[in-house]
Amino acid sequence: MKYTALLAAALALPAPLLAQTTKVKTKLKPGSPAKAVTPPAPQPAAPVDYAARYAERYVTQEHLRRDLTILASDEYEGRETGAKGQKMAAEYISQQFKLDSLQAPVTANAANPYLQTFGMERSAWQPGGTITVGGKAYEWLKDFYAFGRSPFDQATAVQPVFLGYGIEQGDYSDYKGRDVKGQDVIVLLGEPHTADGKAILSPDGTPTKWGVDFRAKAALAAAKGARSIFFVSQEPADKFEKMTSRLAPRVMQPTIAFADQAGGRAPAFFLSPALGLKVLGTNAATLAQYATATAAAKQPTASKLKPVKFSISAPQQRTAVTTENVLAFLPGTDLKDEIIVVSAHYDHLGIIGGEVYNGADDDGSGTVGMLSIAQAFAKAAHAGHGPRRSLLFLANTGEEKGLLGSEYYTDHPIFPLANTVTDLNIDMIGRTDAAHEGKPDYVYVIGSDKLSSQLHEALQTVNRQRGNIDLDFRFNDPADPNRFYYRSDHYNFAKKGIPVAFFFNGVHGDYHEASDEVSKIQFDKLEARARLVFYLAWELANRDTKPAVDSNKP
């Protein structure tokens, strides 16, 4: 074949093949036959990483800042449960769900089917309370203060029962052989410790939950059936006065609980050192001797203390209120009956002493993280890349009042809890705590190993693949005195046997202060942590099997 004939044949080829053919330089002798040119086999296209695509488009600092600047503004008045600002926030969150075309799963609320509305009771302490003992009247917010729901609206005679430190742990029990149902117990604040300050109930002498959180004792007293608990301080009188002055605005802040219960804790009254000694019918030296003997014995010791009868009046005003969880639903495909919950609480403390507590980190950061995750999943689904399992996005109310919104949902679920695969709960992911200052990015993850080793492993695998921030599991320790595992909304799911993972940046100087503002949020860290939750939810929603409940760690 001559050169002109070869050229004519080449021009007759389709363009792609022509391009491949003309790149091959083949020397042909005159009169020799042409050699066939085999094009390279086409390479399969790389699979699209849809999780990364939607995370990078929608879980962004820009979106997080936009929502947080609104929800944590003064206009929303601190989002206190049952108040105007909380209802404004519920409306905003539900509108974002609606704009993302997420389904409204609540049918009982015709006006806004994204809202799960329920009734509560607000209690507010009134001025003028007194405790009268030995003919002397002691004053409210000077000699004593309290938290919880008062059983003493009218002047009531009380004969308290002394129960040492009010502790029950292992072989140590102040309640052993004691029936306190319906009784008013009086206990010492803190826990027994050695002369050099080491707690006797921990193996290394560090403080336990009994020494750092009065709520543990109040919850135990309630579980034992006590009507109330009175705490006696052994600290200097001026320290009690300063503490009372500082806490007074919060003490007078209304509390909310279900009308038929007191939030799982006995109402807690705190007595000044002088009043405490008066009620115990003793003096400081005798009380110190009791504390020293108990620490030495490492067991509750017999007490010569004989509390005296006194009269107490601690009135409250009670009103009925309503509040709302906000829910949105994204149905899955072939595994749609199985549901993953992504939750965050959107309430905060409201207005205290004339200052707005905006709660930008607690839990504005978790709320906007959840909103961005919901949007990313919705956009993926509407583009044909929806999850296999269904997702429920749950914005809880009343967390600051005692995990009330999540308690209500888990007691009145919209979808069967038996079908709920896990709860990924986000509460404070926008700041850095003191333990991680100057270190690489991190997030505390709490509870991921408590019920399911597979959930714990999935979390670590996803993190290695998607950014590898430091996962800090220190608060999984059952001896953690902070008891964070019990202090956010995931716990109500865990109580029902549902695997949970709680994402948290730890406390900081602005925790539960008016200074928790948007200006202090680290949006780059907020973005990274929210994306981690998104990637974990994506993995759990699309894997073949759900995390098995294969462990039951304390």
- CA 518, distance to chain mean position in Å, is 19
Domain assignment of residue 82, yes or no:
yes
- Residue 237 token pair: 């009188």
Exposed / middle / buried, residue 218 (Cβ in 10 Å: 0-12, 13-18, 19+): buried
Number of structural domains the chain divides into: 3
Specify whether 389 is located in the same domain as 332. Answer: yes
- Number of Cβ within 10 Å of residue 445's Cβ equals 25
Specify whether 97 is located in the same domain as 56. Answer: yes
Specify whether 445 is located in the same domain as 517. Answer: yes
Domain assignment of residue 548, yes or no:
no
Report the chain's terminal Cα–Cα distance, integer Å. Answer: 86
Which of 277, 207, 267, 269 has the alpha carbon at shortest distance from 237?
Answer: 277
Q: Decide: 406 and 487 in contact? Cβ < 8 Å.
A: no
| DSSP code per residue over 163-177 | -TT--EETTEETTTT
- Residue 360 token pair: 């930008």
Q: Which of 283, 314, 345 is at the close of a domain?
A: 314
Specify whether 68 is located in the same domain as 99. Answer: yes
For the chain, the farthest-separated pair of C-alpha atoms sits apart, in whole angstroms, at 130
Specify whether 155 is located in the same domain as 297. Answer: yes
pLDDT for position 20: 41
CA quadruple 244, 246, 251, 253: dihedral, nearest 10: 160
Cis peptide before 470 (omega within 30 of 0): no
Specify whether 24 is located in the same domain as 58. Answer: no
Domain assignment of residue 484, yes or no:
yes
Specify whether 523 is located in the same domain as 428. Answer: yes
Backbone angles phi, psi at 32, to 5 degrees: -85, 150
**Domain that includes residue 63, residue range:** 51-116+323-542
Domain assignment of residue 121, yes or no:
no
pLDDT for position 35: 61
Exposed / middle / buried, residue 441 (Cβ in 10 Å: 0-12, 13-18, 19+): middle
Domain assignment of residue 550, yes or no:
no
DSSP, res 395: E
Element (H, E) at 343: strand 335-345
Which of 316, 281, 292 has the alpha carbon at shortest distance from 186?
Answer: 281
Domain assignment of residue 459, yes or no:
yes
What is the domain-level CATH number for residue 512?
3.40.630.10
Backbone angles phi, psi at 331, to 5 degrees: -70, 145
Domain assignment of residue 24, yes or no:
yes
CA–CA separation, 190 vs 210, rounded Å? 6
Specify whether 99 is located in the same domain as 179. Answer: no
Specify whether 142 is located in the same domain as 203. Answer: yes
Q: How many helices (H) and strands (E) does the chain have?
A: 15, 22
Specify whether 15 is located in the same domain as 132. Answer: no
CA–CA separation, 33 vs 29, rounded Å? 9
Residues 6+ apart with CB under 8 A from 377: 54, 330, 386, 387, 391, 534, 537, 538, 541
Specify whether 153 is located in the same domain as 276. Answer: yes
Q: Helix (H, G, I), strand (E, B), or coil: what is residue 417?
A: helix
CA–CA separation, 276 vs 230, rounded Å? 9
What is the domain-level CATH number for residue 179?
3.50.30.30
| DSSP code per residue over 121-159 | EEEEE-TT-EEEETTEEEEBTTTEEEES--S-SS-EEE-
Place of tokens 């046997």: 497
Q: Which of 251, 279, 314 is at the close of a domain?
A: 314
- List, in sequence order, every beta strand (DSSP E) within 397-478: 420-426, 442-446, 470-472
pLDDT along the chain (554 residues), means of 10: 39 40 46 66 83 98 98 98 98 98 91 96 96 97 96 97 97 96 97 94 94 94 97 93 96 90 78 97 95 95 93 97 98 98 98 97 98 98 98 98 96 98 98 97 98 98 96 94 95 98 98 98 98 98 97 87
CA quadruple 75, 78, 83, 85: dihedral, nearest 10: 30
Strands 335-345 and 420-426: parallel
- Residue 220 token pair: 């135990």
CA–CA separation, 352 vs 262, rounded Å? 22
pLDDT for position 185: 98
Q: Which of 248, 281, 314 is at the close of a domain?
A: 314
CA–CA separation, 164 vs 303, rounded Å? 8
Question: What's the residue count for the chain?
Answer: 554
pLDDT for position 15: 41
pLDDT for position 18: 36
Domain assignment of residue 551, yes or no:
no
Interaxial angle between packed helices 523-542 and 50-58, expressed in degrees from 0 to 180 and rounded to the nearest 10 = 150
Specify whether 81 is located in the same domain as 10. Answer: no
